Amino acid sequence: MLVHIFMAVMTLICIYTVRHYCFTVNRVLGRQRHPYVDIETADWPTVTVLIAAHNEEAVITDCMQALLEVDYPADKLVIVPVNDRSTDRTREIIDDFVRRYPGRITPFHRTCGKPGKAAALKDAMTYIKGQVFLVFDADYIPGKALIRQLVSPFFDPEVGSVMGRVVPINVGKRLLTRLLDLERSGGYQVDQQARMNLGLVPQYGGTVAGVRKSALDEIGGWTENTLAEDTDLTFRLLLHGWKTVYANRAECYEEVPERWPVRIRQIMRWAKGHNQAMVRYSGAMLRCPHVGFFERLDGLLLLGVYAMAPVLMLGWIVAVAVFYSGVEIGGSVAVLSLAAFTTLGNFAAFYEIAAAARLDGSRERIRLLPFTLLGFTVSLVSVSRAAWQQVWEYVTGSDMVWHKTERTRVSPVALTGRSA
Amino acid sequence: MSVLAPMMLTVATTALAALPLTPALRELRRREDAAPLPTRSDDGDIRSFAHSFRRYIEPALADLDQAALAKETRSITLADGSPALVLGGRGACDFAGRTVEQIVLCAHDAFLPPQVSFTRDLFVRGRLVGGADNVIRAAMVDGDASLGDRTIVLRWLHVQGSLTANSGCQFFGRVSADKLISLGYGCRFERISGPAIIAGLDEVPGYLERLQHTGNRSTIDRRFGRLRVNGEVHLATGDVVQGHIVALGNVRIDAGAQVTGSVKSHHDIHLGGGVEVHGAITSSGRLEISEKCFVRGPLLCEQEVVIGTGTQIGSPECATTISAPRIRIAPGAVVYGTLWAREFGEVMP
C-alpha cells in the first residue's frame, strides 16, 4: 500500500516536472505566438478600466495618473476606480482626480456589501456599460501602450479574457522581493507564454487583465464566494468555449510583498482559491466537449498545481516510511523517485526561472537562483498549511477569510528615468 | 590530530555546500542587477524613429536655413560628432553612382540620380524624387516622395505627404506616410502604415465595385452571440450571418455572402469574390481573400494572407491593421491603415 501511494506521488511529480521542462524548452527553442501584438491601427472598442481599491492611499495616485496618460482614444476609455469600503484617504484621492480631470473618471464608491474584489467588481459592473473591461489592482502602473495591447486580442471573437505580464517594481528592496521578481519572470515569461504558444490554457490573473462583457454575461458574471476569482473565471470561460490569451508584451509594474508574513498570507489565499476551483471544475473539465485533449490535460494540471505541495510533503513522509518498513522497491519506482527528488519535486520551475532570466536579458540576477530554494520551501509549507486549513474549514463549516495584500509604498514612484 | 580531522572535514563540507551560493551572496550584497525590468515605455507609433531623428537634427536646422539662403553646400558636424552634408541649393544632387557616407540634410526638393547609396540618414525638407536602384538607410521627407524602380530602404522612411514607390522597391523596417502610399508591382515590405495604401495603382478608385448578390439568401441570426462550430463552416453564395463565427476547422465563405460580425478559424479561411465581413478575421492558418471583397478588419493570420484585386480592407473612416508572417497583395487592392508582415510582404508582380 505504502509503495503504491509512493508510486502515485512520484508519478504526479514527474508529470509536473515534464510539464515544466516542456514549457521551458518551448519558450527557448519553440515557435513563439504573439498573434495580436501588431495591431497598430483599428476601430478600438470602448474600454472600461476598473481599478480595484481597498485602502490604497499609498498607491492609487500612481495608477490613476498613469492611466490618464495612456495612448488610447480618450472618448473610448472610461476609468472607474472601485473604492471598496476604504477607511483611509482613498476616496479623497479619487474625488480629487475626478475634480481635476472632469469627464475622464467615473468613480464607484462602495460603502457596504460583501467583502472581496470579486464582489466589488460585480457591484461596479452592474452600473457600467462597455464591451471590454480591464482590471487593475491599485498598486499597478500601466505603461502608455498597455491598454491597446490588452484590448487587441478582443478583436478575436473567441477570446473571452486576456492576461498581461506583471513586473515587480520594488525588486531591489529585500531578498524576498528579489526572489519574487525571479518567480514572476518564470511564471509569466516562460510558463504563461509557453501555454500561449502551445494553445493550452493561459491563466487569467485578475489584474493587468481584461474580460469581454458578453463572455462574462454568458458565464453568469463574477463568482463572489471564491478567494481566487481569476482562476475561477479562467475555467468558467474555458468550459463555455471562450479562450484566455496571454499578452507577454503587455507589461505592467506591480508592487510585490516585502515582508514574509504578507507573502505567506498572499500565497495561502491564492492556494485556497485555486483549490476551490480545482474542486469545482475538475469534473467539468473532464467532461466538457469544447475542450481539446491537450487543453484538458493542461487545464487539469493547472487546477492541481497548488495541491501538489501537500502531495509532495506526503511523498517525503511516505518515502521515509517505505525506507524503514523494509519493503522492496522495484526498479521503475526507484527511477521515478530519483527523477522526482533530484528536481526537488515540482521545483522544476527552477528551469523556467533560469530560462526567463535569460530571455529577459538579466545577467546578474540569475545568480540568486540558489536562494529560490528558500522561497520554494516557504511556499511549500504555506500552501500545504492552506490546504489543511481548507479541509478543516470544510469539516467545521467555517467561512474562509479574504486577506488583502498590504502595500508598503509610501510615496508616488518616479515613472520616468528607470534603468534596466 | 583526532579533533583536527573532523573539523577539517566539516569546514571542507561547509565550503563545498556554500560554493554555489557565493555568486548569489555576491549579487545580494552588490545589487548589480536589482533594478526593475524595463517595460515597454513607447506608445508603439510607427513614426517614433522619424520623430527621434527630427529631434536629433533639430540643432542643425539653423545651418540648413543659412545654406538655403546662400544656396550653397556645407559640411557640418552634428552634436554627437557625426559629419553631415547640408545642401542649400535647388536642383539635382551631385551624387551619381556614389556612396554617401554622411548624414544629408536637404533644404529644398531632392532629386536623386540612379544608383546612389546613403549609408547614413537623409532629411529632405521638400519633395524627394529618387532614381532607380537607390539604397537609402533611413529618410524623413517633409513633402511627397517618389522612389525609383528597385529602390531599397534599409531601416525606416517617413513621408509627411504621399509616397509613391515604383516597381520592385524593397522596404526593410518601417515605412509610413501621412497621406497616400502607392506601392508598385513587385514591391516588398515589412511594416507599412498610412491613411490609405494602394497596390499597383496611382490613386484610390472612386468606388470599389461590388458583385451583385442574387438569389435567395438564408440568414443566420447570431447578433448577440457567436456561431461556434467544432468542424468546418461553409457559407453559400448569398448567405448572411448576423454575428460572429468561430470554427475549429476551415471556413469557406462563397461569393457574395456577408458576415456582420467577425470570423475566426483554427485553420484556413477562404473568402470568395465580393464577400463582406464587417468585423475582424483571425486565422491560425492561411487566409485567402478573393477579388472585390470588403473586410472591416483587423486581419490577423498566423501563416499567410493573400488579398485579391479590387478588395478593400478597412475604410477611410476606420483604419485597420493586417498582421501576418507573410502578406501578398494583388494589384488593385486597397488597405486603409497598417500592413505588418513579420517575414515578408509583397505586391504581386
Q: What is the domain partition of chain B in residue ranges?
A: 51-178, 219-347
A70 and A152 share one domain: yes
Q: Scan residues 302-321 of A and list those with Cβ closer than 8 Å to B.
A: none
Residue A64: pLDDT band with limits 50, 70, 90: very high
pLDDT class of A198 with cuts at 50, 70, 90? very high
Nearest to B244 among A157, A168, A181 (CB): A157
Range of the domain at A99: 34-263
Are A178 and B263 a contacting pair at CB < 8 A? Answer: no
CA-based end-to-end distance of chain B:
89
Amino acid at A44: W
A317-355 confidence digits (pLDDT tens): 888 888 788 777 666 666 666 666 655 555 667 888 989
Q: B206-215 burial by CB neighbour count: b if 16+ within 10 A, else e?
A: eebeebebee
Last residue of a domain, one of A246, A263, A280: A263
Q: Is residue A9 part of a domain?
A: yes
Name the DSSP class of B19. Answer: T
Q: Are residues A11 and A46 in the same domain?
A: no
Same structural domain for residues A86 and A18? no
Q: How far is B21 from chain A (nearest CA, A)?
A: 6
Q: Is the whole-model pTM more than 0.95?
A: no
The contacts of residue B235 (CB under 8 Å, 6+ apart) are B241, B252, B253, B254, B257, B259
3-state secondary structure A227-287: CCHHHHHHHHHHHCCCEEEEEEEEEEEECCCCCHHHHHHHHHHHHHHHHHHHHHHHHHHHH
The ipTM, to two decimals, is 0.86
Residue A201 CB burial class (10 angstroms; 0-12, 13-18, ≥19): buried
- Residues of chain B in contact with residue A249, where contact means CB-CB under 8 angstroms, are 40
Residue of B nearest to A254 (CA): B36
Nearest Cβ partner for A364 among B27, B46, B244? B27
Predicted confidence (pLDDT) per residue in B24-72, tens digit: 888 888 888 888 888 877 777 888 899 999 999 998 888 888 888 888 8
A163: in domain: yes
Band of pLDDT at residue B210, cut at 50, 70 and 90 = very low
Let me know whether A22 and A59 are in one domain: no
Look at residues A212, A229, A218 and name the one whose alpha carbon lies nearest to residue A47. A212
- pLDDT bucket at B189, cuts 50 / 70 / 90: very high
pLDDT at position A206 is: 83
pLDDT of residue A340: 60
Nearest neighbour of B34 by CB, restricted to A43, A178, A253 = A178
With b for 16 or more beta-carbon neighbours within 10 A and e for fewer, the A257-275 pattern comes to bbeeebbbbbbbbbbbbbb
Chain A residue numbers touching B33 (CB-CB < 8 A) = 362-365
Of A257 and A414, which is predicted with more confidence? A257
Chain A residues within 8 A of B338 when measuring between CB atoms: 38, 40-41
Q: How far is A174 from chain B (nearest CA, A)?
A: 9
The C-alpha atoms of residue B210 and residue B321 are separated, in whole angstroms, by 22
Q: Which range among B5-9, B91-95, B237-241 shows the weakest confidence by mean pLDDT? A: B91-95
The SS3 of residue B241 is strand
Q: Is residue A60 part of a domain?
A: yes
- A57, A86: one domain: yes
pLDDT of res. A238: 94
Task: Judge if A211 and A332 occupy the same domain.
Answer: no
Confidence (pLDDT) at B214: 41
Across A304-312, average pLDDT: 91
Is A330 domain-assigned? Answer: yes
CB contact under 8 A, A365 and B263: no
In A, minimum Cα distance to B39 occurs at: A251
Q: How far is A219 from chain B (nearest CA, A)?
A: 13
Per-residue burial over A50-69, b if 16 or more Cβ lie within 10 Å, else e, is bbbbbbbbbbbbbbbebbee
| Helices first, then strands: H and E counts in chain A | 15, 8
**Residue A252 in contact with partner chain B when CB distance is under 8 A:** yes
List chain A residues with CB under 8 Å of B38. Answer: 418-420
Reported as type and span, the H/E element at residue A167 is strand A159-168
A245 is written with which cell numbers? Answer: 490569451
Residues from chain B contacting residue A143 (CB–CB below 8 Å)? 39-41
Q: Is residue A403 part of a domain?
A: no
Q: Measure A399 CA to nearest chain B CA, in Å.
A: 37
A214 neighbourhood in chain B, CB within 8 Å: 224-225
Same domain, yes or no: A259 and A239: yes
A414 pLDDT higher than 50: no
How many of the other CB atoms lie within 10 Å of CB of A331? 7
Question: Over 70: is that where the pLDDT of A87 sits?
Answer: yes
Residue B223: C-alpha distances to residues B118, B219, B278, B313 (Å): 55, 11, 12, 22
Half-sphere exposure of B1 (CA within 13 A, CB side): 0
Asked if the Cβ–Cβ distance from A41 to B39 is below 8 Å, we say no
Q: Is A277 contained in some domain?
A: no
Residue that wins the pLDDT comparison between B119 and A349: B119
* Cβ neighbours of A167 in B, within 8 Å: 36-37, 39
Same domain, yes or no: A241 and A109: yes
| Interface contact B24-A145, CB threshold 8 A | no
A93 shares its domain with A146: yes
pLDDT at B79: 86
**Residue A324 vs residue A356, higher pLDDT:** A356
Do residue A178 and residue B21 have CB atoms under 8 angstroms apart?
A: no
Alpha-carbon gap, residue B214 to A244, rounded angstroms: 40
Q: What is the pLDDT of residue A339?
A: 60
| A95 contacts: CB under 8 Å, gap ≥ 6 | A107
% of chain A residues with pLDDT over 90: 43
CA distance, residue B293 to nearest chain A CA (Å):
18
Q: How far apart are CA A233 and CA A204, in angstroms?
A: 7
Q: What does the pLDDT read at residue B67?
A: 85
Question: DSSP letters along A272-325, please?
Answer: HHHHHHHHHHHHHHHH-TTS-HHHHHHHHHHHTTTTHHHHHHHHHHHHHHHHHH
Give the residue from B171, B120, B85, B119 showing the smallest Cα distance to B145: B171
Q: Given an 8 Å threshold on Cβ–Cβ distance, is A148 in contact with B44?
A: yes
CB-nearest partner of A157 from B32, B262, B338: B262
Which ranges of B3-132 would DSSP assign to H, the alpha helix? 4-18, 21-30, 48-57, 61-70
Percent with pLDDT over 70 in chain A: 90
Q: Is A372 on the interface with B (CB under 8 A)?
A: no
Question: How many independent structural domains does chain A possess?
Answer: 2
CA distance B297 to A155: 9
β-bridge mates for residue A51, sequence order: A81, A136
- A46 and A16 in a single domain? The answer is no
User: In chain A, what residues touch B300 (CB-CB under 8 Å)?
Assistant: 35-36, 39, 155-156
Whether A291 maps to a domain, the answer reads no
* Residue A23 sits in the same domain as residue A48: no
Rounded distance between C-alpha atoms, residue B195 and residue B181, angstroms: 8
Q: Is the pLDDT of residue A285 over 80?
A: yes
User: CA triplet B222, B227, B230: central angle to 5 degrees?
Assistant: 170
Chain B nearest C-alpha distance from A252 (Å): 7
Give A394's pLDDT tier (boundaries 50, 70, 90): confident
Contacts of A43 in chain B (CB under 8 A): 296-297, 318-320
Q: Do both A195 and A69 map to the same domain? A: yes
